[in-house]
Amino acid sequence: MRRTARLDAPITVVSLFAGIGGFDLGLERAGMQVKWQVEIDPFCRAVLAKHWPEVKRYEDVRTVRSELEPVDLVVGGDPCQRNSNAWRHGDGDPSLGLQFLRVVDSLRPRLVLRENPTAVRRDAPWPWHRFKTALEQFGYAVVPFRVRSCCVGADYRRDRLFLLAEHASAQRPRLEGDEREILARTDEGRQDANVTGSDRWYAAPRICRGADGIPHRVDRCRVLGNAVVPDIAEFIGSRLMAAA
């Protein structure tokens, strides 16, 4: 895991539903600084503690309250099973979109970045458009956009929809330029990721089919499947850093 965090980063981050730190790693590569993390899964917290030993962690987003340290950017991909078209009734974690919004309402950061599936169920509790409306009621200007993992060099699609929000009363200068130019340069991102000799993408390890002797194999498969692709987070974060 390559980390390039800068202590003088102009954008500080809190990572909700941090998982194994895909969002965190990518944003640090872009030059941001992760201040604290929230993750309920013990295996994921062990991974976070190994790679971010200096960062404060909370176990449950439902219990964090006024002790939260102010930050510039709140990011997270709240549990998406009940929003996704792939959900089967009775499976998956409960939707925590309301808890995500509660933290945003408490902190009122300058920026918010949310990741969730592109295709959602009609009865989804927190589809992207409902989440967008809630952020707008808090005074945020919100831009939805889609990014696929294959656009940053991966050999699979993994289509995800992001919401980027900026608060209208932010004390710092507002982001400049057309958001489409900042965030939708998928061609440029693809060229950056496919440079000859890049060490970002190796052949996928054979841990999903008949690989014996791998410690914590089930946990590894599960958390890797849920993680935000770091290269996507870096792609977005680098453009935010350039704009800010």
pLDDT in tens, 25-63: 999 999 999 999 999 999 999 999 999 999 999 999 998
Residue 57: which H helix or E strand, with range?
strand 56-58
pLDDT tier at 217, thresholds 50, 70, 90: low
State the average pLDDT over residues 227-244.
88
pTM for this one? 0.75
Strands (E), 118-235: 140-148, 159-167
Cβ-based burial of 22 (10 A; exposed 0-12, middle 13-18, buried ≥19) = buried
Helices (H) and strands (E) in the chain, counts: 8, 7
Q: Which domains does the chain show, CATH number per domain?
A: 12-243 (3.40.50.150)
**Please, which residues have CB within 8 angstroms of residue 193's CB and are 6 or more apart in sequence?**
151, 152, 153, 200, 201, 231
> CA-to-CA distance for 189 and 92, rounded, in angstroms?
32
Cβ-based burial of 215 (10 A; exposed 0-12, middle 13-18, buried ≥19) = exposed
> CA-to-CA distance for 9 and 21, rounded, in angstroms?
18
